[in-house]
Structure 1
């Protein structure tokens, strides 16, 4: 997919899928394939793997490669696929991004390096070298709450100007003023995605291309419908769905993502809810709250006052 095709196609709800594990913590690739089929059947507009929700920092390099390869083959060009290829290690980011291109991904999502706290100058060099090494469209992933550094709008605008294949940014950034200035400085055709659930609808209102929302793991059809309603001009329906999703969004982020997600998907019978340490399932009290909210959405059965 070239840049122009990507700018037309990479819109809507791009679902960032969890990485399923067996009890022995090995990859459960069959379940990953099943989840991808479910998402596509449910109306997700695109698929992403090995982003934050996919626990990439808990995977070995070879495991990340296997998840990417499995997902790209499972999607089979039915919708766009955008694997996360970034790392705190520059050479690893280069390797994974090149590999995503070789495997046939439609674009790659490259996170701002975490833990290192690089300067804006260093961030520019990091992303510029990755962009220059591939032809595949790139989406930068800015999530300062996890990386401890914010990619400033000025740096992003410079990258956009100097790297034609950097086509957008996923902003997991609660600073909505910053987000508005992204489109002001990068242009209205720059693809802006929300990575904050409560900003998915507001992001569309200012000209965003869509969102990469973890909540899509649990309710993919409803999350996709927000974009469909907005895109068809049904603003009232999009706004109604935005508020309808808020209780689910809230409970899924009462602990660190993807722990509540995996607990929820386990309750729904979609996965074995296994995480790798240092991540773990939420406390039992939160799991009960998650069950209650899922029951309110009809995602698990409620019998009387008990949720099963």
Structure 2
């Protein structure tokens, strides 16, 4: 396997995890998905991801996930790195989706720690090793213990990073920042570490992280990307200012389970039809009102942006 160094140089910054837009009847709105991806690229997002947590993958069939990845790959068209989420709680599905990502020309596949099953650390090692060795593209491990009920421990991550050449990084949606620091220490400073926690996006850069995969980019792609741009250009003051400027938006978008507040916000912005598949649903009217007030600090809302 070769070519990972070039990929690792490109997989930096704000990799935007795009929502999956639906029509009113719950079917996937592929046309809007394409428009969202074009908007993100024009706004400066450094990469595109689909079918991660923000994309409601567990509410999609396997066939729908392949369709979303295919449409996204065409829309991205190699303009920026493309990193679809390909993991599930089912091993065979994960293998199938990860191989499909490779066929579609993805730059890397993001594979979540299997949820619900609560595997041991030894089992997680075997799982990620097998998935990564089934493809030639790089694999980014997605560790989100708040959703999966199991944490991929630092020693396990380090073993995978050292023994499996195409495991090149991890998205850490882990509020334990000591854990995150130790991942870089044990996996090596060239390991690509991304924050999946909005308030840790800037701090992740400060300790040597590669960037972040932040749901907030769906609403403010330019500002979220500019945190990395400012840091990369050495304008630390601007990066810190943007970090704090985004904080009210980050806070309100996570007052209900992601992506419910996010889809409400995008509905208010007339970017999508604010539809989620059950068991998810839109936030309460009270939270919608709060989202609307916070949104006005960042974007100009249409006058008719009322209760959804």
TM-score using structure 1 length: 0.97
- State how far apart, in whole Å, the 2-side matches of 1:70 and 1:139 are: 21
SS at match of 1:139: strand
Following TM superposition, where does structure 1 have runs of at least 4 consecutive aligned residues deviating by more than 4 angstroms?
Answer: none
Shift of 1:35: 0.1
Q: Which residue of 2 aligns with 1:292?
A: 293
Structure 1: gaps of 5 or more residues:
none
- State how far apart, in whole Å, the 1-side matches of 2:299 and 2:47 are: 25
Shift of 1:298: 2.8
- State how far apart, in whole Å, the 2-side matches of 1:90 and 1:202 are: 33
SS at match of 1:237: helix
Q: Which residue of 2 aligns with 1:106?
A: 107
Give matches, 1:1-308, under 5 Å: 2-300=3-301
**Conservation of the 8 A alpha-carbon contact between 1:22 and 1:274:** yes
- State how far apart, in whole Å, the 1-side matches of 2:65 and 2:104 are: 13
TM-score using structure 2 length: 0.97
Any idea what the Cα deviations from partners look like across 1:109-152, whole Å, max 9, x if unmatched?
A: 00000000000000001000011111100100000000000000
Shift of 1:300: 1.5
Structure 2: gaps of 5 or more residues:
none
Any idea what the Cα deviations from partners look like across 1:35-87, whole Å, max 9, x if unmatched?
A: 00000000000000000000000000000000000000110000000000000
Shift of 1:302: 7.1
Any idea what the Cα deviations from partners look like across 1:196-232, whole Å, max 9, x if unmatched?
A: 0000000000000000000000000000000000000
Shift of 1:248: 0.2
Shift of 1:301: 5.1
- State how far apart, in whole Å, the 1-side matches of 2:188 and 2:254 are: 31
Q: What number of residue pairs does the alignment pair up?
A: 306
- State how far apart, in whole Å, the 2-side matches of 1:2 and 1:255 are: 40
Shift of 1:252: 0.2
- State how far apart, in whole Å, the 2-side matches of 1:177 and 1:298 are: 35
SS at match of 2:119: coil
SS at match of 1:296: coil
- State how far apart, in whole Å, the 2-side matches of 1:24 and 1:264 are: 20
- State how far apart, in whole Å, the 2-side matches of 1:17 and 1:295 are: 22
SS at match of 2:39: helix
**Conservation of the 8 A alpha-carbon contact between 2:269 and 2:302:** no
